[in-house]
């Protein structure tokens, strides 16, 4: 039944009573296996059925809400299939009923579940609200400002010194950023305050003995040893080149002297790292060292490193020596010098005495900074509790407080609540385990049964795809279990799923070729070996025709290799698909270096050529039929490390090449012109003295000031002291002493008069909206602005109008979200949006494209995780890596702690401390490990065709590295890479893969050819059209005038509402000449105090409020209803949230009292006491379309939906009633308006109950009268 699983997959499904770690490679079917395991657990199939568990006894943790929803859907389908196969299995039927209560959720949803059910354990108000990121940003900014203001006022010397230390250039904002970063970073630790206090003393080192015992110092020793080993390997490789027949043999002497130098440094390092009596060449633990001798040894080592000198490489002219190898050896020796230079600059610029002096100088500043972060955390928590807010970080830590308690000895143990959950959950299943952090690990471990000897955790993921280090994920958690869990059966078992069911073997072979060279344990913790490699298992139909023949013969379908080139390359950018049409390609666009040349545009043009080559030609498997078909645009994706700064360029070039494209981006929203225009207007409303927003508003399509007019306005500022707003007022004639009227009087020219009119109009508009801003909610203010200016229609008419309109509407949604926060007002809304923009909490331009649209998609690699595409471009390989984390003022590492610079505020001198250099190297190594994993994710998205693209300057185009295979890719060598291009190119060449280089001349030639073909096609069309112009014109006219075949069905809808039918009926009656509401009849006069009360509430709100109250009103009570009693009921409903504040305010208790005194209300009360009163009864009624319109066919059915206000069952039939709050004078008006509506209600009731409707009533609250129809 269902899919057939491999042996390893079946083992994952069947294993029981143990902790299981599943290392699931890309495309290995982990989701299907996870679903099958869950279904087996709850159904009992394949094992003892008595051991089957109910699905609500499983905790299934996913990474995203979308993944949770998909998981629930797949489990439901699998259980439904089981029920269909075993209709008598009551246990599986029970699981289908329980699935809706199953704990299939993200970790944050589980935390929220814990908090809602155990808020009393932590003293939390149950009426809390989850704040959005914008609100939290505002709150943080507010708390930070208050905190620093308070500290400045206190005038403590420690704080003053801290400010001078970290804000040495006068940028006090930097101190705020550091405090917030430190607080946020510590939040990824289970006990943030404990972590901060632990690392507060990181620089409190009094002696060298304390220094060498630190973890980071031990890490430095390992790094130095690895660096010297790299130098040895490099020198050995260089000597090997010298020994070749055409090698530069005369350089060998200098290289041998270098080897002696390196050996001497290793000996000095060994002496420094172990007792003087030890002669071992391997560094020992510094903790075992005689510190006095070690300190002297380190001083000697530092002196030796600083005094390094190199032997001169003897120049010699010998024509038998290869010039390339001569230069190669020189380059390799320069690399050795660079590595030893790193040793000198980063680690031994000074000795132990200076290291300790730097620690003492930095100690006080770091302590104060950590104290400020702790204080900030306390104040922020207080503020959030005052406002009853929680954020996502709070959820994790509060859940941890519920599940763990601290004993007197400081040890954390499971709480009683955690022990209860241990009993409840039979198994805990965690998807995407490689992206967990320490907090999540503590949470799930506390409710698992490991401590009780019951191993019930199932963890699945792929550490090679752990790409969320920036969110403080800890892939080390996965790696630790990967190293310790056994492949054999036991209490902790590891199963590797290596078969790839996604990609063609060409793709998996390419991925393996690259990562066998690039991914090693020293960098990122993963060794790409036989256990980590991909094994192709996907089945694809055989291709027919030319493509299949070409693949069998191993020949190219087009293009040729350049003779004499160092590497095989194609002669043209649009060379046909190489060899096998599915063979991966690396395409490089050559950059000439000319001024104004944009590398991104060149790369995009090259990609456009490849797309044209693929669409309609490359056979790909259809996802529905499973058969081959020609590739479409929708089969293609372009993946970028980051879309920011790239996506728009790529989109523009592809569209210029007539390639439909859609950008899937999480950035770009705030940069959209239409969004900035609205935000700028709001900024000007708040403060018109802001120059840039005002300039943007004036120049926008809303007010249409030209550049010349803006320049004229600026010219009015003769003193240089006026802002643009003052100049606008001067031009409008609002300046001091009539100054602004100069040049704009009756004798002024037309342009000046036009400018003055524009300025007057703008100021009137602005002042009016500034008045609106005082009392209108933000979203209402924006709605008014958009409606009055017609801006939504304006942006809709621009190119990309649908997208632009959605962006503006999204801004309205954000305004409504803001109004639900604890902030209000225009000023705070602007700050709210600015905080979202500042911290990259971007929404991305909302997609207006259907996911099935035939377009090429551009997205980030992170966005593509979990997805797959037939054809995948991995582009932007030449973009440099972001290394900002390693150069920040404060470096943070979860294991090694904190590191800062040494600063002398008096002398204004700053340099990095030894620890900061060590942490910077570690962070760079971690970052490179992350980049390798991101690259792995990108390459494994491809199902059938993988194309990598980048750019390179012409003078640096790749040449073959003759000795690359001699020493491979060490961790240090990989860390020197500055882009994916630096990583991929050598690895690509070393396995003999073909490289395509595309020059600008070839791109230009291809464009000219396409333009020529397009011109010829157009000419041919014009010539054909010119032969018989009259016949063509007649044919066109005939097609345009042909009547629509189904014109009689215009207006036929599948589903409608009773209200719409009522309106249509009224329109028809009006069209026939029936005057429904004579103009001379007016609503009766109402006193002013009544009008003021009524006019504050819209008619819709008032109607909804009355309907809601009567829906829940206690008619069954035997009361004499007074106004006071009615108020009491309304207050009760407000208190328990059955009636909103808005609805309660809209209800006139005297109107309700009048209704309750009617015979209808008495009949309703009697029916309520016998359970025969039915209120707000929804229905759907199916009618023949012919009944609605005789022109419609009888066999078409229209569904009519509605809600009946109230009906009551009496002995002789049903009484149907409807409430109306319309303000009318004559009851006949209500009968005319609502007869159709009640007729449909009557028919629905007859069909619903099988009883006749004996009476139809309308109760008018306006007339306070029952009306019988």
pLDDT of residue 1193: 65
Write down the pLDDT at residue 1228: 86
- For the stretch 375-380, contacts whose Cβ atoms lie closer than 8 Å and that sit 24 or more positions apart, written own/partner, are 375/147, 376/143, 376/144, 376/147, 376/179, 376/180, 376/183, 377/183, 377/186, 377/192, 377/193, 379/143, 379/146, 379/147, 380/139, 380/140, 380/143, 380/183
For the cut 60, the answer to whether the pLDDT of residue 819 exceeds it is: yes
pLDDT at residue 167 tops 50: yes
Q: Are 57 and 426 in contact (CB under 8 A)?
A: yes
d(CA 1226, CA 746): 58
**Bridge partner residues of 909 (DSSP):** 904
CA dist list (Å): 31 to 75, 432, 465, 651, 866: 11, 10, 15, 33, 10
Are the beta carbons of 1206 and 1175 closer than 8 angstroms? Answer: yes
Please determine, for residue 743, whether its predicted confidence score (pLDDT) is greater than 50: no
Q: Which fold, 7-128+391-497?
A: Rossmann fold (3.40.50)
589 has which bridge partners? 951, 998
Let me know how many helices (H) and strands (E) the chain has, helices first. Answer: 48, 30
Q: Residue 568 above 50 pLDDT?
A: no
For every residue of 35-56, which 3-state class applies, written as one string? HHHHHHHHHCCCCCHHHCCCHH
> Cβ neighbours of residue 551 under 8 Å, at least 6 residues apart?
543, 579, 580, 581, 582
What is the predicted pLDDT for the residue at 1041? 72
Specify the residue for token string 């060490």.
Answer: 970
Mean pLDDT of the chain: 83
Report helix angle 1099-1112 to 1149-1156, nearest 10: 50
Q: What percent of the chain has pLDDT over 70?
A: 84
Q: Which one-letter DSSP state was computed for residue 726? A: H
Rounded-to-integer distance, Cα 1240 and Cα 1182, Å: 11
* Angle ∠(462,465,466) on CA atoms, nearest 5: 95
**CA separation, residue 580 to residues 242, 288, 570, 612, 649 (Å):** 39, 60, 15, 18, 31
Give the model's confidence band at 1010: pLDDT under 50 very low, under 70 low, under 90 confident, else very high: low
Taking residues 1212-1223, report their average pLDDT.
88
Q: How confident is the model at residue 634 (pLDDT cuts 50, 70, 90)?
A: very high
The whole-number pLDDT of residue 1088 equals 42
CA distance 650 to 656: 10
44-76 pLDDT tens trace: 764 455 678 999 999 999 988 889 989 999 999
pLDDT at 1024: 63
The predicted model gives 330-352 an average pLDDT of 91
Query: May I ask the CATH architecture of the domain 545-668+852-998?
Result: 3-Layer(aba) Sandwich (3.40)
Most confident of 571-575, 610-614, 1171-1175, 1181-1185: 610-614
Name the band, by pLDDT with cuts 50, 70 and 90, for residue 421.
very high
Could you report the per-residue pLDDT of 1136-1176, keeping only the tens digit for each? 778 888 888 888 888 899 999 899 999 998 888 888 888 88
Distance of alpha carbon 94 from alpha carbon 690, whole angstroms: 65
Residue 1188: partners with Cβ closer than 8 Å, 6 or more residues away: 1061, 1198
Confidence of residue 179 (pLDDT cuts 50, 70, 90): very high
At residue 596, the pLDDT reads 64
Q: Residue with structure tokens 């802002």? A: 723
Q: For residues 791 and 701, give the distance between their C-alpha atoms in angstroms, rounded to a whole number.
A: 9
Average pLDDT over residues 853-879: 94
The confidence score (pLDDT) of residue 535 equals 95
CA distance 1127 to 12: 63
**What integer pLDDT is reported at residue 194 of this predicted model?**
94
Phi, psi of 310 (to 5 degrees): -115, 145
CA distance 113 to 62: 15
In the predicted structure, residue 547 carries a pLDDT above the cut 70? no
- What pLDDT sits at residue 563? 36
pLDDT at 515: 94
1055-1268, what's its fold?
A: Lambda Exonuclease; Chain A (3.90.320)
For residue 840, what pLDDT is reported? 58
Q: What is the pLDDT of residue 1039?
A: 73
Model confidence at 278, pLDDT cuts 50, 70, 90, reads very low
The pLDDT of residue 846 is above 60: no
Q: Of residues 1227 and 1049, which shows the higher confidence score?
A: 1227
- Residue 22's closest CA among 441, 502, 454, 463? 463
- What is residue 202's predicted lDDT score, i.e. its pLDDT? 93
Q: Do 1149 and 1113 form a contact (C-beta atoms < 8 A)?
A: no
Model confidence at 17: pLDDT above 70: yes
Query: What is the per-residue pLDDT across 442-493, written as a single tens digit (0 to 9) for each?
Result: 999 999 988 888 999 999 999 999 999 888 899 999 999 999 999 999 999 9
Nearest CA-CA partner of 40 in 54, 52, 28 = 52
Per-residue model confidence (pLDDT) at position 475:
93
Report the alpha-carbon distance of residue 926 to residue 523 in Å, rounded: 7
Q: Are strands 628-630 and 619-621 parallel, antiparallel or unpaired?
A: antiparallel
Q: Report the pLDDT averaged over residues 122-147.
A: 89
CA distances from 1014 to 575, 601, 672 (A): 20, 22, 33
* Torsion (CA) 1225, 1227, 1231, 1234 in degrees, nearest 10: 60
The band of 1195, judged by pLDDT with boundaries at 50, 70 and 90, is low
Tell me the pLDDT band of 815, cut-offs 50, 70 and 90. Answer: confident
* HEC per residue, 638-656: EEECCCCCCHHHHHHHHHH
pLDDT at residue 1101, rounded to an integer: 79
Q: Whole-angstrom distance between the N-terminal and C-terminal Cα of the chain?
A: 62
Higher pLDDT, 844 or 554: 844
Q: What DSSP string runs through 124-173?
A: --TT-EEPPHHHHHHHHHHHHHHHHHHHHHHT-HHHHHHHHHH-TTS-HH
Task: Please give the average per-residue pLDDT across 928-955, as a whole number.
Answer: 94
State the DSSP H helix or E strand holding residue 95, giving kind and residue range, or none if neither.
helix 90-98
Q: Any long-range contacts for 1017-1024 (C-beta under 8 Å, 24+ apart)?
A: none
With 50 as the cut, is the pLDDT of residue 1187 above it?
Answer: yes
- The answer to whether 530 touches 496, Cβ cutoff 8 Å, is no
Label residues 841-855 b or e (16+ Cβ within 10 Å = b). Answer: bbbbbeeeeeeeeeb
Confidence of residue 1048 (pLDDT cuts 50, 70, 90): low
pLDDT at residue 900 greater than cutoff 60: yes
Q: Above 70 in pLDDT, residue 1053?
A: no
Topology of the domain covering 673-838: PCRA; domain 4 (1.10.486)
Asked whether residue 1019 carries a pLDDT value surpassing 60, the answer given is yes
Has residue 962 got a pLDDT over 80? no
pLDDT at residue number 1120? 84
Looking at residue 1250, the DSSP 8-state letter turns out to be: S
């Amino acid at each position: 039944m269902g899919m057939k699983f491999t042996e390893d997959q079946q083992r994952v499904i069947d294993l029981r009573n143990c902790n299981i770690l599943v290392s699931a490679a890309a495309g290995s079917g982990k989701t299907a296996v996870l679903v099958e395991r869950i279904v087996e657990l709850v159904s009992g199939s394949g094992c003892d059925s008595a051991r089957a568990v109910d699905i609500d006894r499983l905790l299934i943790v996913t990474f995203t809400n979308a993944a949770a929803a998909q998981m629930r859907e797949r489990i439901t389908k699998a259980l439904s299939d089981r029920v269909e196969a075993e209709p008598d299995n009551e246990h599986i039927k029970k699981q289908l009923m329980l699935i809706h209560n199953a704990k299939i959720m993200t970790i944050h949803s589980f935390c929220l579940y814990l908090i809602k059910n155990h808020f009393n354990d932590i003293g939390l108000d149950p009426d809390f609200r989850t704040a959005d990121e914008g609100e939290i940003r505002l709150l943080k900014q507010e708390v930070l400002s208050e905190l620093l203001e308070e500290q400045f006022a206190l005038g403590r010397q420690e704080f003053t010194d801290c400010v001078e230390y970290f804000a040495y250039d006068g940028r006090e904002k930097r101190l705020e950023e550091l405090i917030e970063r430190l607080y946020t970073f510590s939040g990824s630790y289970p006990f943030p305050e404990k972590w901060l206090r632990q690392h507060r003393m990181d620089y409190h080192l009094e002696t060298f003995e304390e220094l060498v015992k630190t973890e980071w110092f031990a890490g430095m020793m390992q790094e130095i040893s690895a660096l010297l080993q790299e130098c040895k390997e490099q020198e050995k490789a260089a000597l090997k080149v010298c020994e070749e027949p055409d090698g530069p043999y005369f350089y060998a002497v200098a290289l041998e002297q270098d080897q002696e130098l390196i050996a001497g440094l290793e000996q000095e390092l060994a002496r420094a790292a172990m007792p003087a009596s030890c002669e071992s060449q391997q560094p020992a633990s510094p903790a075992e060292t005689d510190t006095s001798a070690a300190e002297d040894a380190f001083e000697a080592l530092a002196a030796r490193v600083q005094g390094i000198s190199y032997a001169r490489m003897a120049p010699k002219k010998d024509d038998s020596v290869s010039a390339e190898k001569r230069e190669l050896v020189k380059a390799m020796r320069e690399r050795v010098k660079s590595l030893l230079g790193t040793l000198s600059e980063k680690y031994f610029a000074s000795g132990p005495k200076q290291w300790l002096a730097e620690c003492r100088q930095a100690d006080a500043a770091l302590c104060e900074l950590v104290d400020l972060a702790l204080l900030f955390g306390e104040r922020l928590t207080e503020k959030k509790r005052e406002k009853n807010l929680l954020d996502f970080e709070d959820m994790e830590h509060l859940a941890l407080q519920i599940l763990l308690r601290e004993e007197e000895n400081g040890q954390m143990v499971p709480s009683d609540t955690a022990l209860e959950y241990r009993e409840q959950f039979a198994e805990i299943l965690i998807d995407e385990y490689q992206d967990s952090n320490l907090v999540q690990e503590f949470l799930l471990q506390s409710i698992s049964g490991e401590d009780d000897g019951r191993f019930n955790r199932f963890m699945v993921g792929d550490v090679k795809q752990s790409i969320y280090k920036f969110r403080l994920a800890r892939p080390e958690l996965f790696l630790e279990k990967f190293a310790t869990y056994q492949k054999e059966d036991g209490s902790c078992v590891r199963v590797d799923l290596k078969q790839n069911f996604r990609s063609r073997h060409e793709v998996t072979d390419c991925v393996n070729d690259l990562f066998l060279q690039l991914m090693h344990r020293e960098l990122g913790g993963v060794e790409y070996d036989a256990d980590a490699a991909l094994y192709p298992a996907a089945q694809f139909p055989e291709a027919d025709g030319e493509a299949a023949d070409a693949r069998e013969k191993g020949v190219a379908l087009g293009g040729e290799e350049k003779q004499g080139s160092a590497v095989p390359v194609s002669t043209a950018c649009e060379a046909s698909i190489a060899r096998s049409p599915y063979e991966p390609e690396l395409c490089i666009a050559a950059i000439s270096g000319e001024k104004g040349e944009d590398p991104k545009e060149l790369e995009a043009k090259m990609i456009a050529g490849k797309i044209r080559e693929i669409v309609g030609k490359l056979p790909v498997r259809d996802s529905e039929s499973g058969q081959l078909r020609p590739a479409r645009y929708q089969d293609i994706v372009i993946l970028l490390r980051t879309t920011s700064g790239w996506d728009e360029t790529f989109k523009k070039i592809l569209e210029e090449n007539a390639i439909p494209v859609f950008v899937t981006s999480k950035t770009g929203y705030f940069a959209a012109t239409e969004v900035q225009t609205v935000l700028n207007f709001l900024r000007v409303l708040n403060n018109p003295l802001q120059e840039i927003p005002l300039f943007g508003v004036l120049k926008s399509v809303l007010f249409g000031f030209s550049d010349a007019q803006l320049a004229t306005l600026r010219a009015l500022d003769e003193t240089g002291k006026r802002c643009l707003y003052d100049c606008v007022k001067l031009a409008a004639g609002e300046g001091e002493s009539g100054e602004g009227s100069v040049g704009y009087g009756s004798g002024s020219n037309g342009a000046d008069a036009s400018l003055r009119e524009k300025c007057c109009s703008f100021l009137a508009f602005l002042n009016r909206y500034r008045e609106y801003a005082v009392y209108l909610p933000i979203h209402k203010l924006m709605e008014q602005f958009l409606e009055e200016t017609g801006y939504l229609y304006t942006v809709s008419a621009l190119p990309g109008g649908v997208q632009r309109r959605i962006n503006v509407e999204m801004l309205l949604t954000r305004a409504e979200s803001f109004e639900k926060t604890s902030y209000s007002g225009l000023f705070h809304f602007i700050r709210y949006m600015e905080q979202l923009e500042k911290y990259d909490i971007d929404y991305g331009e909302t997609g207006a494209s259907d996911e099935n649209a035939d377009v090429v998609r551009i997205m980030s690699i992170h966005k593509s995780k979990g997805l797959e595409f037939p054809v995948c471009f991995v582009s932007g390989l030449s973009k440099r890596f972001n290394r900002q984390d390693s150069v920040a003022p404060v470096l943070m590492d979860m294991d090694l702690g904190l590191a800062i610079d040494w600063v002398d505020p008096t002398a204004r001198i700053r340099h990095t401390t030894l620890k900061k250099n060590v942490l910077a190297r570690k962070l760079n190594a971690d970052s490179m490990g992350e980049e390798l994993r991101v690259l792995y994710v990108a390459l494994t998205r491809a199902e059938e065709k993988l194309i990598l693209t980048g750019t390179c300057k012409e003078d640096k185009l790749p040449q073959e590295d003759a000795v690359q295979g001699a020493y491979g890719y060490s961790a240090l060598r990989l860390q020197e890479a500055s882009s994916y291009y630096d990583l991929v190119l050598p690895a690509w060449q070393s396995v003999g893969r073909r490289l395509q280089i595309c020059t600008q001349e070839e791109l230009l030639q291809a464009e000219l050819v396409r333009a020529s073909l397009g011109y010829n096609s157009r000419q041919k069309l014009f010539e054909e059209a010119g032969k018989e112009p009259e016949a063509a014109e007649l044919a066109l006219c005939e097609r345009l005038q042909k009547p629509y075949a189904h014109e009689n069905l215009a207006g036929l809808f599948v589903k409608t509402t009773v209200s719409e039918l009522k309106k249509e009926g009224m329109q028809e009656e009006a069209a026939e000449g029936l005057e429904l509401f004579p103009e001379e009849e007016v609503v009766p006069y109402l006193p002013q105090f009544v009008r003021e009360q009524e006019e504050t509430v819209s008619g819709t709100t008032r109607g909804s409020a009355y309907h809601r109250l009567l829906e829940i009103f206690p008619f069954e009570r035997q009361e004499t209803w007074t106004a006071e009693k009615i108020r009491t009921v309304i207050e009760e409903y407000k208190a328990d949230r059955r009636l909103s504040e808005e609805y309660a305010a809209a209800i006139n208790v005297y109107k309700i009292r009048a209704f309750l005194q009617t015979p209808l209300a008495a009949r309703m009360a009697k029916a309520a006491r016998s359970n025969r009163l039915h209120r707000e009864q929804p229905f759907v009624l199916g009618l023949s379309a012919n009944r609605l319109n005789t022109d419609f066919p009888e066999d078409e059915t229209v569904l009519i939906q509605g809600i009946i206000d109230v009906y009551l069952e009496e002995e002789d039939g049903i009484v149907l009633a409807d409430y109306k709050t319309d303000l009318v004078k004559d009851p006949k008006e209500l009968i005319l308006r609502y007869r159709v509506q009640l007729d449909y209600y009557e028919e629905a009731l007859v069909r619903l109950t099988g009883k006749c409707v004996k009476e139809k009533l309308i109760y008018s609250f306006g007339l306070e009268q029952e009306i019988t129809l």
